[in-house]
Structure 1
């Protein structure tokens, strides 16, 4: 028997009797977990598959620019990934978490105000990335091992892409707002459209018009602009569950804090992940351009596979967040375990297949046999361990929904220390490239195991701040027919 609520029905003058009415259902809070999770995840998976096509297409036509351009992309790729994962998976997840928890508690007004503050955060962080990378980016690329033509290609890409760094931050924050409401379809459709447009524009500008690496970067920014335009129209036209406030908006520290207590801490996770890749890239640079290019090809597969974990994990954020907001802690936990298992299994099957037949991936990007050999070698060793990356990503996103991200971030710290210490040891002992690839694989297992353990050991549930923010409407919804307590004083 379904639950019923009570409403007043007039009977005669000045009298009323309760009648039974069905409350509004919310599948994110009371629907079947696996089916709801997959229904939210599949639009993300389709969209991120298109993102994979961008990776393949970009690497393919960058390869036509020469092996130096391919090695340059391996250098600049960690910085691009840092921007996209920090604005999307980290801060975007923090935005989605805050809005989902507000909606789960029944406070739509708060969710709308949070959306406005999320856009302000995007503008500030985007500007900071723009200035920081334009000023310090070239020196950083040189520090990572860029020299000669490789460095020139990398700087050319960096100057264009990070000159418009505000755009990916705005795009991913708007997507986070929509995902926090449970709307996965529109952000995913925009990612799909943006990916297809990016392939056409990037290829046309880089090869067709001869702009090289600058054309690849400009194509990405133009595609982002289209997505921003459509999502802005959808949000500000009132078609979403929340509408960012502009008129009469009062800047609130509490609103910033609600987003940043998840998003700012979560930003350390992709930062440490990119530092791990950067350190590893720097170590491999000593083996020559071919090995660096081969590793870059393999790292792009890792990024492609993480989109699967991202799709599933991001779908868990509103489910966990709304369950936490509604104080359904046991359900929030079940969502996290389900998402983790699905992510681990899916990524494990796909990446193991690539490890068995690495030429399917490697041969797409280059005709240089030495780079192909290095790429195949890396994938045979590291690719099966991508399953643990998927587990870590899913647990990370579920922790965002619960506003408990310190554990997964510390797991990334442990991986960073492991790679730095292990890599230093290998360098001192003149290790082979294969031994460095084994180090990368072992670090993935470490990350997945520690992230899972952190979620298991972290207490989820209400804290005084959450209780303080919870509106009386939630209590009324749980006890239909009751009246909120009177305000005193």
Structure 2
């Protein structure tokens, strides 16, 4: 495992970031495999899964906040070499994740189709999406708990174990996707629900292995079932988690609002937006890996009383991610038609998908810096500032702009894409100002 509080910082960053990036790319690759197979069922199936994914993002915001709090807490105390508090943090996060994931599952299962209809989905799209959502939320507990364990390993500098678990899960998922979606022999064709079944089964296997490793004593976390639950410690985690949950919720609500705005332009536009959204997520995954490593570096070095080293890590990460996203932006701009047509062979989504990619991709550098700064603040436990930046740049600025610009400028859906760019630039500027202020260095968890 990498020692992130001393020695060569670049090597330390690469050591922890590389496995996370690999795991994230594999995860995104899996989502593209899902999209590839679902795309063979038609544009309505693509739209249903795309809208369902958006709803999952909204309902999972509480869990995202809890995982972020876990990263800040575990990395801070691991850097301070207080391993008893590390174990307590992981134990309490698993309990919180279990409770909230059960509650979210109930909501997701009961109101799946209603939520899709509320977003403006046509009845057939809502029906397909609901079949996918219901299955996914039924097994969401294992998805959440696997996420918590993986983030705990990463926060202690072990990024290789989570990567291997993701590899295993993805291999299983890829094998199960066509089998469960289209059926074979005695296995019935489940349609879009088959993609969700494949996800749940593969993640459950990975979770069982991860939990066994946590209990085996061979992990960096001295986990035990005998750890006493402390409400005061749980509250400390929740206080860090809530602003990040709100931030994630605001981002997800923004995405849903943007999806509803795009839906006004028709099913083809919705399908295109779903495709480019998945492609964009793939492009961002390496950056999220670098950003996760940045959060760990910030947390561990603040715990070790080395804020200057934490700052150096943030600068290095921002340069790396900016360079990578500039490259991805160029690829997306130049190869947009060929990329979109891979996922919608009918060609119905091509024109709109290309217009998004060639308009937004040149501005990915702003998004790259914003991601690093946001994760750095979260890693310090200063989760309120990214929440405020998201509120103003996305909810109060980007969404209204997306409603106004298409008609105001007379450019149709291109006005929505212009609003995305404006929101991206504002968010980066706000986060940079907040980071430069330096208050995150004295945040207490």
Does the CA-based 8 Å contact 1:206-1:216 persist in structure 2? yes
Partners in 2 of 1:115 and 1:359 — Cα distance?
45
Label 1:26 to 1:38 Cα distance change in 2 as closer, same or farther (>3 A). Answer: closer
1:132-147 paired onto structure 2 within 5 Å = 132-147=107-122
Is 2:423 the partner of 1:419? no
Structure-2 residue corresponding to 1:437: 417
Structure-2 residue corresponding to 1:301: 279
C-alpha root-mean-square deviation of aligned residues, in Å? Answer: 1.9
Is 2:6 the partner of 1:30? yes
164-173 vs 380-389, greater mean Cα deviation: 380-389
Partners in 1 of 2:363 and 2:249 — Cα distance?
21
The Cα of 1:367 is off from its aligned counterpart by 1.9
Partners in 2 of 1:173 and 1:250 — Cα distance?
19
- Measured against aligned partners, the alpha-carbon deviations of 1:352-375 in whole angstroms (never above 9, x if no partner) come to 211121023201111222311111
Partners in 1 of 2:364 and 2:53 — Cα distance?
18
Q: Please, which runs of 5 or more residues in structure 1 have no aligned partner? A: 1-24, 467-489
Does the CA-based 8 Å contact 2:132-2:193 persist in structure 1? yes
Partners in 2 of 1:445 and 1:246 — Cα distance?
46
Look up the SS of the partner of 2:342 in the other structure.
Answer: coil
Relative to the length of structure 2, the TM-score reads 0.94
Label 1:459 to 1:79 Cα distance change in 2 as closer, same or farther (>3 A). Answer: same
Structure-2 residue corresponding to 1:195: 170
Does the CA-based 8 Å contact 1:125-1:169 persist in structure 2? no
Is 2:270 the partner of 1:313? no
The Cα of 1:424 is off from its aligned counterpart by 2.9
Look up the SS of the partner of 1:358 in the other structure.
Answer: helix
Does the CA-based 8 Å contact 1:327-1:462 persist in structure 2? no
- Measured against aligned partners, the alpha-carbon deviations of 1:47-95 in whole angstroms (never above 9, x if no partner) come to 222122212211111111111101112211212344667645x432321
Label 1:462 to 1:259 Cα distance change in 2 as closer, same or farther (>3 A). Answer: same
Q: Please, which runs of 5 or more residues in structure 2 have no aligned partner? A: none
Is 2:427 the partner of 1:451? no
Does the CA-based 8 Å contact 1:93-1:314 persist in structure 2? no
Structure-2 residue corresponding to 1:483: none
Label 1:337 to 1:261 Cα distance change in 2 as closer, same or farther (>3 A). Answer: farther
Q: 1:40 aligns with which of 12, 16, 25?
A: 16
Look up the SS of the partner of 2:45 in the other structure.
Answer: helix
425-434 vs 325-334, greater mean Cα deviation: 425-434
Structure-2 residue corresponding to 1:106: 81
Is 2:308 the partner of 1:333? no
1:117-128 paired onto structure 2 within 5 Å = 117-128=92-103
Label 1:428 to 1:363 Cα distance change in 2 as closer, same or farther (>3 A). Answer: closer
Label 1:207 to 1:387 Cα distance change in 2 as closer, same or farther (>3 A). Answer: farther
Look up the SS of the partner of 2:218 in the other structure.
Answer: coil
200-209 vs 38-47, greater mean Cα deviation: 200-209
Aligned length: 439
Look up the SS of the partner of 1:29 in the other structure.
Answer: coil
Label 1:442 to 1:258 Cα distance change in 2 as closer, same or farther (>3 A). Answer: same
Does the CA-based 8 Å contact 1:29-1:319 persist in structure 2? yes
Does the CA-based 8 Å contact 2:39-2:45 persist in structure 1? yes
Partners in 1 of 2:248 and 2:365 — Cα distance?
18
Structure-2 residue corresponding to 1:237: 216
Does the CA-based 8 Å contact 2:251-2:390 persist in structure 1? yes
Structure-2 residue corresponding to 1:211: 190
Q: 1:151 aligns with which of 119, 126, 133?
A: 126
Is 2:40 the partner of 1:61? no
Q: 2:351 aligns with which of 342, 360, 373?
A: 373
Higher helix share: 2
Structure-2 residue corresponding to 1:221: 200
The Cα of 1:26 is off from its aligned counterpart by 7.0
Structure-2 residue corresponding to 1:272: 250
Label 1:168 to 1:320 Cα distance change in 2 as closer, same or farther (>3 A). Answer: same
Q: 2:383 aligns with which of 386, 391, 405?
A: 405
The Cα of 1:444 is off from its aligned counterpart by 1.7
Structure-1 residue corresponding to 2:334: 356
